[in-house]
């Protein structure tokens, strides 16, 4: 079968022929219906230093955001009939540690490689899922190509926003910084699950227009006056929650400058920026956190929201043969919403 693989460090991914996987005991092979191209793949492909910087063995198939149909099940797998539409919860944990037992596999204490992140992922005709528990049946009304981006571009902001729900009542303001693959979902998730007013920040006018069309109450261009503008929108109080989908020095600075005391500043983007943390550098009792992906139960909730039409990923479809173009467009910042590769 065809697969898009990371073959070497600091290089473009390559389309190659590989053997079709067979499920072992407890495993499931899905026929891929869609696999999303994520910004973290760009980081993996071009920004990791090389051998020794990661625990991976190259080559492996990219794609940590996938959905499809059950194609074959291994012995011992129950409740997943062939042909069933499923989403893959991609944060594969060991399944045995206390975090995994509590359902928080995204913070597994004995991390194992995840599909598309060190072992074969979904940018291929078929995907081997090593444990049946990683699959979530799709509710009626959701097809795999539309569901694929929900498993990361949707789930990651859903998790980030969900943990700030208690702070996002009717008088609150939430700020979304960066309206890309994840940020455009964040705007919708905030509107669907909270009563807060939503302010979206992006350098690109098209992205700000997209945010507005998805329900953002205000859009702001970054720059010298952005923090003042956002403070103005909140009657000078500042934002109760800032979700930073960029994570650069500049966006962290903006996040701190617009945070209200007792607020949340959540770093989702992996630009690797920093901000000096100290008694005098941030408003009182602002909680600052980074987040990684989300749990399977959160994915179930998000799929339900999507099946009811309350959130919808903006997708640009690429056939598998054109997957390298999807990554080029993602790298060049010319995509609107999420690139989904359909084999
Ligand atoms: Zn990702
Ligand atoms: Zn674990």
Q: Which ligand gives the minimal distance to the CA of 95?
A: 2
Instruction: Enumerate residues with CB within 5 Å of ligand 2 (an ion).
Output: 93-94, 97, 100, 108
Separation of alpha carbons 157 and 245, rounded Å? 9
Tokens 């074959």 belong to residue = 72
User: What residue has token string 């699950």?
Assistant: 193
Determine the distance separating the centroid of ligand 1 and the alpha carbon of 246, expressed in angstroms.
Answer: 13
- Beta strand spans in 187-320 (E): 197-201, 218-220, 239-244, 259-267, 287-290, 315-319
Whole-prediction pTM = 0.96
Sign of CA dihedral 205, 209, 211, 216: positive
Residue numbers in the chain where pLDDT is lower than 50: none
**DSSP structure class, residue 51:** B
pLDDT for the residue 336: 77
- The predicted pLDDT at position 32 comes to 98
Characterize the bridge pairing of strands 338-342 and 118-119. Answer: unpaired
Closest among 52, 57, 71, 64 to 7, alpha carbons compared: 57
Distance CA 254, CA 47 (A): 25
DSSP 113-172: -EETBEE--SSBSEEEESSGGGEEEPPTT--HHHHGGGGTTTHHHHHHHHTTGGG--TT-
pLDDT confidence of residue 55: 77
Q: From the CA of 99, how far away is ligand 2's center (Å)?
A: 6
Are residues 239 and 175 in contact, defined by beta-carbon separation less than 8 angstroms?
Answer: yes
Pairing of strands 173-177, 239-244: parallel
User: From the CA of 65, which ligand is nearest?
Assistant: 1
The ligand with the least distance to the CA atom of 62 is 1
Ligand closest to Cα of 292 equals 1
pLDDT in tens, 69-101: 999 999 999 999 999 999 999 999 999 999 999
Q: From the CA of 253, how far away is ligand 2's center (Å)?
A: 34
Q: Do strands 14-17 and 2-6 pair parallel, antiparallel, or not at all (unpaired)? A: antiparallel
């Amino acid at each position: 079968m065809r697969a898009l693989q990371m073959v070497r460090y600091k290089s473009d991914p390559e389309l190659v022929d590989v053997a079709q996987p067979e499920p072992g005991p407890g495993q499931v092979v899905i026929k891929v219906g869609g696999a999303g191209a994520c910004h973290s793949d760009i980081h993996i492909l071009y920004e990791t230093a090389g051998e020794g910087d990661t625990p991976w063995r190259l080559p492996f198939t990219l794609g940590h955001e996938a959905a499809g149909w059950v194609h074959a099940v291994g012995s011992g797998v129950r409740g997943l009939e062939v042909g069933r539409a499923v989403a893959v919860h991609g944060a594969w944990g060991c399944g045995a540690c206390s975090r995994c037992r509590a359902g928080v596999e995204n913070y597994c204490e004995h991390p194992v490689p995840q599909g598309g992140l060190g072992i074969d992922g979904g940018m291929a005709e078929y995907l081997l899922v090593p444990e049946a528990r990683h699959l979530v049946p799709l509710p009626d009304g959701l097809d795999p190509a539309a569901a694929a981006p929900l498993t990361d571009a949707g789930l990651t902001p859903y998790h980030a926003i969900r943990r700030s729900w208690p702070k996002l009542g009717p008088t609150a303001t939430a700020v979304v910084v960066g309206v890309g693959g994840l940020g455009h979902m964040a705007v919708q998730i905030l509107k669907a699950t909270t009563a807060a007013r939503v302010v979206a920040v992006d350098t690109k006018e098209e992205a700000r227009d997209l945010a507005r069309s998805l329900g953002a109450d205000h859009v702001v261009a970054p720059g010298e006056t952005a923090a003042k503008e956002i403070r103005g929108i909140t009657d000078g109080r500042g934002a109760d929650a800032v979700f930073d989908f960029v994570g650069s020095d500049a966006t962290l600075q903006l996040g701190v400058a617009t945070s209200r005391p007792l607020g949340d500043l959540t770093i989702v983007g992996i630009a690797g920026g920093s901000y000096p943390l100290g008694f005098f550098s941030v408003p009182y009792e602002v909680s600052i956190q980074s987040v990684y992906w989300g749990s399977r139960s959160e994915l179930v909730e998000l799929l339900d929201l999507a099946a009811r039409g309350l959130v919808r990923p903006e997708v640009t479809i690429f056939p598998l043969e054109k997957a390298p173009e999807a990554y080029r467009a993602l790298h060049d910042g010319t995509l609107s919403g999420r690139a989904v590769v359909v084999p």
